[in-house]
Amino acid sequence: MIELTKVILENEMDLILAHKQSMRLAELTGLSLSAQTTFATAVSEVSRSSIANNITTTLTLFVSGKKEQPKFIYAVLEDNRHNFSETRDEGFNYAQKLVSNINVSTADAGTRIELKYRLAHNIRIDDFIIEKWTIQFNNDPGISPYEEIKRKNRQLIELADRLRESEEQYRSLTDSLPIMIFSLNKKGALTFANKWVESYTGATIENINNNQWQSILHPEDLAKTWENWKTNAESPEAIVVPEQRVKDIRTGEYRWHTGVSIAIVNENGSVMSRNNFLVDIHAQKLIEQTLKDNIELKQTKAELEEYITLLNQSNKQLEQFAYVTSHDLQEPLRKISFYSDMLGHKFRHAMPPEALVFFENLISASDRMRLLVKDVLSYSTMQKNEFDILDLNVIAAEIIQDLEIAITEKNALITIGELPTIQGNSRQIKQLFENLLSNALKFARADQSPVVNINAVVAADVATITFADNGIGFEEIYVEKMFDLFQQLHPKGIYKGTGIGLALCKKIVDLHKGSIKAEGKPGEGAVFIITLPLTQS
Strands 72-79 vs 57-63: parallel, antiparallel or unpaired: antiparallel
Q: Which long-range contacts (CB under 8 A, 24 or more apart) does 304-313 make?
A: 304/339, 304/343, 306/335, 306/339, 307/332, 307/335, 307/336, 307/339, 308/284, 310/335, 310/336, 311/283, 311/284, 311/287, 312/284
pTM of the model: 0.35
Average pLDDT, the chain: 80
Per-residue pLDDT tens over the stretch 480-533 = 777 775 555 555 555 555 567 788 888 889 888 899 898 888 888 899 999 999
Q: Any bridge partners for residue 77, and if so which? A: 59, 113
Confidence at residue 139, expressed as pLDDT on a 0 to 100 scale: 62
E-strand ranges in 447-508 read 451-459, 462-469
Angle between helical axes of 426-442 and 501-511 (0-180°, round to 10):
150
Instruction: Say which range, 78-87, 199-208, 435-444, has the weakest mean pLDDT.
Output: 78-87
Q: What is the pLDDT of residue 512?
A: 87
Determine contact, residues 206/292, Cβ cutoff 8 Å: no
- pLDDT by residue (tens digit) across 359-385? 776 776 666 666 656 655 555 555 556
Answer yes or no: is pLDDT of 147 > 60. no
Residue type present at position 419: L
Model confidence at 323, pLDDT cuts 50, 70, 90, reads very low
pLDDT at 149 over 60: no
Give the least confident one: 229-233, 324-328, 366-370, 480-484.
324-328
Q: Which residue has the higher pLDDT, 161 or 532?
A: 532
What is the average pLDDT across 414-442?
Answer: 89
pLDDT tens string 432-483: 898 899 888 888 888 889 999 999 999 989 999 999 999 888 888 777 777 7
Peptide bond between residue 242 and the one before it cis (omega within 30 degrees of 0): no
DSSP state of 493: T
The secondary structure of the chain in percent helix, strand, coil, rounded to multiples of 5, reads 45, 25, 30
In this predicted structure, what is the pLDDT of residue 527? 92
Of the chain, the percentage scoring pLDDT greater than 90 comes to 12
Pick 517 or 167 by higher pLDDT.
517
Count of C-beta atoms within a 10 Å radius of residue 174 = 21
For the segment 156-164, the average pLDDT, to the nearest whole number, is: 64
Partnered with residue 353 across adjacent β-strands are none
Phi, psi of 365 (to 5 degrees): -65, -40
Which tens digits make up the pLDDT trace of 27-52?
Answer: 888 888 888 898 989 888 888 877 77
Q: What is the Cα–Cα distance from 151 to 317, expressed in whole angstroms?
A: 47
CB-based contacts of 284: which residues, under 8 Å, 6+ apart? 256, 308, 311, 312, 315
Q: d(Cα 123, Cα 35) in Å, to the nearest integer?
A: 15
Question: What pLDDT does residue 326 have?
Answer: 47
For residue 251, pLDDT beyond 60: yes
Sign, CA dihedral 356-361-362-363, equals: positive
pLDDT digits (tens, 9 = 90+) for 171-185: 676 676 778 888 888
Q: What is the pLDDT of residue 453?
A: 94
pLDDT tens digits, 90-143: 888 888 888 888 988 888 888 899 998 998 888 888 888 888 888 777 665 554
pLDDT at 499: 62
CA pair distance 322, 143, nearest whole angstrom: 54
Find the distance separating the first CA and the last CA of the chain, reported in whole Å. Answer: 36
Residue type, 98: L
Q: Which residue has the higher pLDDT, 240 or 440?
A: 440
- Three-state DSSP state, 73: strand
- Packing angle between helix 353-381 and helix 330-347, nearest 10 degrees? 160
Q: Say what the pLDDT of residue 333 is.
A: 66
Distance CA 375, CA 500 (A): 6
Q: What is the pLDDT of residue 325?
A: 47
Q: Whole-angstrom Cα distance, residue 75 to residue 43?
A: 7
pLDDT at residue 314, rounded to an integer:
53
Contact 462, 508 (CB under 8 A): no
- CA dihedral of residues 133, 136, 139, 145 (deg, nearest 10): -140
Most confident of 53-67, 106-120, 230-244, 283-297: 106-120
Give the pLDDT confidence score for residue 27 in this predicted structure: 87
CA distance 73 to 22: 9
Give yes or no for residue 401 having a pLDDT over 60. yes
Q: How far is CA 443 from the centre of its chain?
A: 31
pLDDT digits (tens, 9 = 90+) for 287-296: 777 767 666 6
